[in-house]
Amino acid sequence: MSFINYSSREINCKIVYYGPGLCGKTTNLNYVYQKTNPDNRGKMISLATETERTLFFDFLPLALGSIRGFKVRFHLYTVPGQVFYDASRKLILRGADGVVFVADSQVDRLEANVESLENLRQNLAEHGSDLDKIPFNIQYNKRDLPDIASVEEMNGLLNPRGVPVVEACAHTGEGVFDTLKDIAKQVIMELKKKENT
Amino acid sequence: MGSQNFITAQVLERVEEELRGFRQAAKARVAFLIDGNGQLLGQAGDATKVDTTAIAALTASNMAASKAIAELVGEEKFGGVLHEGEDEHLHLSVVGGIAILVVLFDAETSIGLVRLRVKNTTKNLEALLIQGAEEGVSEEEDLSPFAEITEDDIDQLFL
């Protein structure tokens, strides 16, 4: 849920990166962290296991600039992708203004993508949110690897609603900022919609 | 835990006044109030050496996890959480299911005094937040930029 501080004239929004284990959620945040001017970002926090798998979440606060006198900040979170961390995923999803689903393009991960997307839908529903109604996009990651599914095939499985899709290779950074920019735009336009209703 | 999606300058002033009074009475180093989503609502004390954004995100998640654990063992919630360090300690307490009071303290005080003062302050803060939510945002203050925002404005953020 976005938060407006009228005293400091700041707007904070929460974006959650979701997806199956090892799909590249943390890699997305690492790239954003590395490529953002240190003045515009806070400390990146990663709560990970000894083997660098996300245990609870990663957190990166970003200050993007001002819109009409209000400083706009985004708090980016990732969830742990491994199936048995579902309780943690539910906690982190709470209050999300927008969700990025990072899908692993490798053919042998298609089923994991479908399961994770269904899990996202269920967990949002438990918070009273509907995946079909919130700002949402999908990143098809790992497009540089061999043995990947076509965009058409992935759209058929993961994107019947036709939400914005970004092809990416998060470890080189390709598509990372396009994904972030798209979800940020959707989140802000959603706030505008609410303001006008 | 619920949370509210705005704080006005007037409510912030009242909240920070309460936090300043608490900090002095409890002899704590820093006290701050965050909402259930990890947004900083107000603070008192010298927080220049503390990354309040990161602490807010972590403590909100910590409290959410504590509540989930409490439910698993048949409790509605755990009242307060204490993190004890060598020199610095952190006490977290729920403010009426709306927010979290975070208190950073050292050897200048004791956990007993902090807990004692936390009791009253959490009640006062809860009342202030409820009152603030009821008052809402005044017309003069409600200069939200969203109504007139354009896609160009958003594109500017990423230049």
> Each residue of A22-72: pLDDT tens digit?
999 999 999 999 999 999 999 999 999 888 898 899 999 999 888 888 899
**From the CA of B144, how many Å to the nearest CA of chain A?**
8
pLDDT value of position B158 = 75
Given a cut of 50, the residues of chain B with pLDDT beneath it are 1-3
Q: Do A91 and B65 touch (CB under 8 A)?
A: yes
What is the third-level CATH fold of A3-195? Rossmann fold (3.40.50)
Q: What is the 3-state secondary structure (H, E, C) of chain B?
A: CCCCCEECHHHHHHHHHHHHHHHHHHCCCEEEEEECCCCEEEEEECCCCCCHHHHHHHHHHHHHHHHHHHHHCCCCCCCEEEEECCCCEEEEEEECCCEEEEEEECCCCCHHHHHHHHHHHHHHHHHHHHHHHHHCCCCCCCCCCCCCCCHHHHHHHCC
Residue B3 located in a structural domain: no
Residue B129 located in a structural domain: yes
> Does A9 have pLDDT greater than 70?
yes
Residue B23 located in a structural domain: yes
pLDDT value of position B159 = 66
Task: Say how far residue B131 (Cα) sits from the centre of its chain.
Answer: 16
Q: Is the complex ipTM more than 0.95?
A: no
Q: How many domains does chain B have?
A: 1
Cβ-nearest to A191 among B8, B13, B146: B146
Q: Do A3 and B6 touch (CB under 8 A)?
A: yes
Cα–Cα separations (whole angstroms), residue B151 to A37, A160, A188, A196, B106: 23, 26, 9, 16, 49
Please tell me if residue A56 touches chain B, with a CB cutoff of 8 Å: yes
Range of the domain at B125: 9-157
For residue B133, what is the domain's CATH number? 3.30.450.30
**From the CA of B91, how many Å to the nearest CA of chain A?**
21
Residue B2 located in a structural domain: no
pLDDT value of position B22 = 98
Domain edges within chain A:
3-195
pLDDT value of position B141 = 63
For residues A137-166, average pLDDT: 97
